[in-house]
Amino acid sequence: GAVVSQHPSWVICKSGTSVKIECRSLDFQATTMFWYRQFPKQSLMLMATSNEGSKATYEQGVEKDKFLINHASLTLSTLTVTSAHPEDSSFYICSAGGTAYNEQFFGPGTRLTVL
Amino acid sequence: QKEVEQDPGPLSVPEGAIVSLNCTYSNSAFQYFMWYRQYSRKGPELLMYTYSSGNKEDGRFTAQVDKSSKYISLFIRDSQPSDSATYLCAMITGGFKTIFGAGTRLFVKA
């Protein structure tokens, strides 16, 4: 499958600061990128779906002004957690999707800890 | 009721055992069915996928879908300690939105 990278792999920040997470599809042009959040021992919850050059579509309950998503190219999407709070601490995972249903390749995840 | 139900476990088996992992779902619109494996602090990796009822085999893994009962299973034969991970079922509607189960933590003891 395709290789998807995320940077950073982990980050610790102070409450009130903003954190940017990058998701890169290294060998695959992703029509769509997905952002998920996973709390400990829980499943992945889709936060938003983004298509290159378009505004992201957010899932119900996800604040679009808090979780800013930019999908600048077919190989790069960024998630910015603005004014982070301790309850935002989680494992954030992106995936790059192609045109087929089985073409969804996940990144290794970014562990965010907000103090 | 959740769209996808999966027992979180944990499930502990001895090496060599046959493992059965299951999910049920309520949304008839699901068209595609996947199983992912996720190691601790890593992203999920796709194990198997299918879109029709019946069995699909790949090495030691067999995926089974019963659309009439809204039930899917993953069987692992000759389980190995390296199979210890969390297994997530996932289902996709025609719009390619993926809904994941809670994941079952599997421990295979040597």
Contact A43 B102 (CB under 8 A): yes
Contact B45 A91 (CB under 8 A): no
Q: What is the CA radius of gyration of chain B?
A: 13
CA distance B88 to chain A (A): 8
* Among A39, A37, A41, A46, CA closest to B7: A41
> How confident is the model over B72-77, as a mean pLDDT?
97
Contact B44 A32 (CB under 8 A): no
Q: What is the pLDDT of residues B1-26, one digit of tens each?
A: 778 999 888 999 999 999 999 999 99
A44 has a chain B CB within 8 A of its CB: yes
Which of A44, A57, A111 would best serve as a mutation to test chain B binding (most B beta carbons within 10 A)? A44
Please provide residue A46's backbone torsions phi and psi, each rounded to the nearest 5 degrees. -65, 130
> What's the pLDDT score for residue B28?
87
Q: Is B43 exposed, middle or buried (0-12, 13-18, 19+ CB in 10 A)?
A: buried
Do B21 and B9 contact (CB within 8 A), yes or no? no
Q: Please state, rounded to an integer, the average pLDDT across all residues of chain B.
A: 92
A25 has a chain B CB within 8 A of its CB: no
CA distance A49 to chain B (A): 9
Q: What is the pLDDT of residues A74-103, one digit of tens each?
A: 899 999 999 999 999 999 999 998 777 677
> What's the pLDDT score for residue B35?
96
